[in-house]
């Protein structure tokens, strides 16, 4: 359910609580609605930060030279291994949101500044941070388009598959 729709029960619960006095199930409803609202808001913020990272990393990465791309890719693999990747095989970057999520963390550690947004955000696990179909990602692409990054999820995926061959 979109976070905006949680505002209605929250406001209704607050209204009922203050108009009827402190009692019964209104206080419980108020607390539950407030907790759900806070968790949904926090989740939405995390997905927004992850989407900004993906789009900013795609923008910066696609402008880099081959040697810089290799360095970012290798550092992303190093970060994944530090996080506990135990397989002898390299991680699979089958989705562009996963690839550029890890590349964003690598660029942040390497000191490469993002061009589209102010800073890199800390995303704990880009493997699960955001889905390719999320509205936050579409919104980040829209904001980036306003700033001059003219690309879509499909074109980023195509470019990512071309990069696999060069890396």
DSSP result, 5-39: HHHHHHHHHHHHHHHH-S-HHHHHHHHHHHHHHHH
CB 126 within 8 A of CB 87: no
Task: Assess whether pLDDT exceeds 80 at residue 99.
Answer: yes
Instruction: Decide if 152 is inside a domain.
Output: yes
Which bin fits 148, alpha (ψ -120 to 50), beta or left (φ > 0)? Answer: left
Neighbour count for residue 136 (Cβ, 10 Å): 19
Neighbour count for residue 80 (Cβ, 10 Å): 20
CA angle (102 as vertex; 4, 150 as ends), nearest 5:
65
Instruction: Decide if 72 is inside a domain.
Output: yes
Instruction: Decide if 29 is inside a domain.
Output: no
Task: Assess whether pLDDT exceeds 80 at residue 123.
Answer: no
Separation of alpha carbons 26 and 15, rounded Å: 9
Instruction: Decide if 78 is inside a domain.
Output: yes
Instruction: Decide if 22 is inside a domain.
Output: no
Task: Assess whether pLDDT exceeds 60 at residue 22.
Answer: no
Q: How confident is the model at residue 17 (pLDDT cuts 50, 70, 90)?
A: low
User: Which domain, by its residues, includes 147?
Assistant: 45-166
Separation of alpha carbons 115 and 119, rounded Å: 9
Instruction: Decide if 91 is inside a domain.
Output: yes
Which residues have CB under 8 Å from 63's CB, separation 6+? 115
- Counting the structural domains of the chain, the total is 1
Task: Assess whether pLDDT exceeds 60 at residue 1.
Answer: no
pTM of the shown model: 0.69
Q: What is the mean pLDDT of the chain?
A: 75
Residue 129, pLDDT score: 66
Tokens linked to 16: 């009922």
Separation of alpha carbons 65 and 148, rounded Å: 20
CB 147 within 8 A of CB 58: no
Neighbour count for residue 46 (Cβ, 10 Å): 17
Instruction: Decide if 4 is inside a domain.
Output: no
pLDDT tens digits, 60-87: 887 888 888 888 888 888 888 887 777 7
Tokens linked to 94: 């089958």
Residue 114, pLDDT score: 83
């Amino acid at each position: 359910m979109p976070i905006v729709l949680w505002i209605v029960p929250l406001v209704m619960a607050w209204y009922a609580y203050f108009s009827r006095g402190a009692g019964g199930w209104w206080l419980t409803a108020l607390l539950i609605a407030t907790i759900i609202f806070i968790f949904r808001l926090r989740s939405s913020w995390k997905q927004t930060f992850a989407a900004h990272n993906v789009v900013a990393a795609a923008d910066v990465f696609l402008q880099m030279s081959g040697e810089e791309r290799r360095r970012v890719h290798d550092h992303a693999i190093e970060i994944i291994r530090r996080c506990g990747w135990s397989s002898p095989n390299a991680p699979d970057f089958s989705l562009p949101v996963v690839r550029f999520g890890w590349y964003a963390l690598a660029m942040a550690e390497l000191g490469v500044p993002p061009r589209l947004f102010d800073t890199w955000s800390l995303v704990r696990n880009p493997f699960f941070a955001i889905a390719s179909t999320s509205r936050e990602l579409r919104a980040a692409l829209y904001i980036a388009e306003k700033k001059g990054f003219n690309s879509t999820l499909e074109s980023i995926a195509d470019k990512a598959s071309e990069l696999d061959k060069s890396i």
